[in-house]
Amino acid sequence: MSQRPLELILARNLMSALSTPAFLVDEGGVLIFYNEAAGMLLGKRFEELGTVGPEEWGSLFGPLDADGKPIPYDELPLVVAVRNDRPAHANFKIRSASGSLQMVEASAFPILTAHGSRGAIAVFWPASSNGGAHR
């Protein structure tokens, strides 16, 4: 197994210490970690799920717009951040492992280094509005 870049190691260490739900993907869009707070939101701990390839994780937990329609993978903030090297924000619903729906806001930002992109981080928190996905 290859060594993770330091920037991802430090990101995971930080996320592990946070109560803010957070996701981490590598430069290829593979979901490589989410923290305990995100696990509570999703109803499943990362250790139970393990790494998940791009495209696949996008559909694991919804995400759905305000009308309940699936949001295309390419439009998810984390995907926008890792592919376009820019921050992105959206509101949408996610489906937990128990099937319940939760409206969340998500902000994602890229992890850029002198050698290029390493991946991206997204933080989530419950949304109070019923607004649909927006960027």
Smallest gap, in angstroms, from Cβ of residue 41 to another protein? 21
Of positions 14, 59, 126, 135, contacts another protein by CB under 8 A: 14
> Is residue 19 part of the contact set for another protein (CB under 8 A)?
no
Q: Are 67 and 132 in contact (CB under 8 A)?
A: yes
> Is residue 114 part of the contact set for another protein (CB under 8 A)?
yes
> Is residue 20 part of the contact set for another protein (CB under 8 A)?
no
Q: Which of 25, 29, 28 is nearest to 38 (CA)?
A: 25
> Is residue 39 part of the contact set for another protein (CB under 8 A)?
no
Length of the chain: 135
> Is residue 10 part of the contact set for another protein (CB under 8 A)?
yes
| DSSP labels, 38-82 | HHHHHTS-HHHH--B-TTHHHHHT--B-TTSPBPPGGGSHHHHHH
> Is residue 9 part of the contact set for another protein (CB under 8 A)?
yes
Residues at the contact surface with another protein, assessed by CB under 8 A: 1-7, 9-10, 12-14, 16-17, 113-115
